[in-house]
Amino acid sequence: MPPKTLLICSLCSGDVEAMRRDIAAALTAGADGVELRLDSLGEPPSDEELRGLIDSAGGKTVVVTYRPRREGGQYDGDEETRLEVLHRAVRLGAEYIDVEYDVPSANWADAKIIVSRHDFRRVPEDLGRMAAEMESSSADVKKIAFMSFGPEDALRALDLLRAGRKPTVALAMGEAGALSRIAAGKFGASCSYAAGASGGEAAPGQLTVSELKQMYRWDAVGAETRLFGVIGCPVAHSMSPAIHNTAFDATGYDGLYVPLRIEPGRDNFLRFMDALLSRPWTDWRGLSVTIPHKEHALEYVGSDGCDELCSRIGAINTITIDSGGSLRGDNTDYAAALDALCAAMRIERQELSGKKLAVLGAGGASRAIVAALAHYGAEVVIYNRTLSRAEQLAGEFGASAKPLDAAGDSDAEILINCTPIGMHSHDRAGQSPLAKLPGDVKVVFDTIYNPPETPLLAEARDAGCTCVSGLEMFVNQAAGQFEIWTGQSAPRDAMREVVVARLSGT
Ligand code: NAP
Atom of ligand 1 nearest to the CA of 476: 40
Give the C-alpha distances (Å, rounded to integers) separating 331 from 234, 378, 392. 20, 19, 21
pLDDT beyond 80 at 3: no
237 is catalytic: no
Helix (H, G, I), strand (E, B) or coil at 345: helix
Whole-angstrom Cα distance, residue 341 to residue 90? Answer: 65
Contact 138, 110 (CB under 8 A): no
* CA 476 to chain centroid: 19
Q: Ligand 1 within 6 A of 386 CB?
A: yes
Question: Which residue's CA is the nearest one to ligand 1's atom 2?
Answer: 363
Rounded distance from Cα 343 to ligand 1 centre (Å): 23
Identify the residue whose C-alpha is closest to ligand 1 atom 30: 418
Note the pTM of the prediction, 2 decimals: 0.94
| Inter-residue contact 67 to 75 (CB < 8 Å) | yes
- How far is ligand 1, taken at its centre, from the CA of residue 231, in Å? 20
pLDDT of 172 higher than 80: yes
C-alpha neighbours within 13 Å on the C-beta side of residue 492: 13
Q: How confident is residue 128, by pLDDT bands cut at 50, 70 and 90?
A: very high
pLDDT of residue 505: 83
Q: Are 144 and 169 spatial neighbours (Cβ–Cβ below 8 Å)?
A: yes
Q: What percent of the chain has pLDDT over 70?
A: 99
What is the chain's mean pLDDT, rounded? 96
pLDDT digits (tens, 9 = 90+) for 5-20: 999 999 999 999 999 9
CA distances from 191 to 2, 36, 211, 333 (A): 12, 15, 16, 38
DSSP 218: G
Task: Give the model's pLDDT for residue 1.
Answer: 53
**Structure letter (DSSP) for residue 208:** B
pLDDT of residue 108: 84
What's the order of all strands across the beta sheet hosting 327-330?
A: 255-261, 226-232, 284-289, 318-321, 327-330
Question: What are residue 255's DSSP bridge partners?
Answer: 226
| Nearest residue to 224 via CA among 282, 265, 297, 149 | 282
449: which DSSP letter?
-
Do residues 243 and 498 touch, judged by C-beta distance below 8 A?
A: yes
The residue whose CB lies within 8 Å of the most ligand 1 atoms, and thus the one to mutate among 289, 432, 447, 475, is 447
* Confidence category of residue 105, pLDDT binned at 50, 70, 90: confident
**Would you list the DSSP string of 46-77?**
PHHHHHHHHHTTTTSEEEEE--BGGGT-SB-S
309-338 confidence digits (pLDDT tens): 999 999 999 999 999 999 999 999 999 999
**Ligand 1 centroid, distance to 451 Cα (angstroms):** 15
Q: What angle do CA 21, 27, 28 make, to 5 degrees?
A: 85
**Would the pLDDT of 290 be above 70?**
yes
* Phi/psi of residue 423, nearest 5 degrees: -80, 145
Q: Ligand 1 test: best mutation among 288, 333, 360, 385, most atoms within 8 Å of CB?
A: 385
3-state DSSP assignment of residue 17: helix
Mutation test residue for ligand 1: of 294, 393, 419, 449, the one with most atoms within 8 Å of CB:
419
Q: Which of 32, 118, 355, 402 is catalytic?
A: 118
**Residues 444-460: pLDDT tens digits?**
999 999 999 999 999 99
Distance of CA 51 to the CA centre of its chain: 39
How many angstroms separate the alpha carbon of residue 420 from the centre of ligand 1? 5
Over residues 191-231, the pLDDT tens digits come to 999 999 988 899 999 999 999 999 999 999 999 999 999 99
Q: Which of 98, 153, 330, 333 is catalytic?
A: 333
When pLDDT is averaged across residues 355-360 and rounded to a whole number, the result is 98
Q: Ligand 1 centre and the CA of 419: distance in Å?
A: 4
Cα dist. 56→29, 62, 94, 328, 352 in Å? 15, 10, 11, 52, 66
For residues 417 and 428, is the Cβ–Cβ distance under 8 A? no
Band (pLDDT 50/70/90 cuts) for residue 107 is confident
Task: Give, in degrees to the nearest 5, the angle at Cα 255 between 504 and 188.
Answer: 115
Tell me the percentage of the chain whose pLDDT exceeds 90.
95
403 vs 107: which has the higher pLDDT: 403
Catalytic one among 294, 296, 355, 402? 294
Alpha carbon of 439 to ligand 1 centroid (Å): 24
pLDDT reported for residue 2: 61
Active site residue 442: no
Alpha helices in 116-265 (DSSP H): 127-135, 151-163, 178-182, 209-210, 240-251
pLDDT above 80 (res 150): yes
Residues 6+ apart with CB under 8 A from 279: 155, 158, 159
Does residue 333 carry a catalytic annotation?
yes
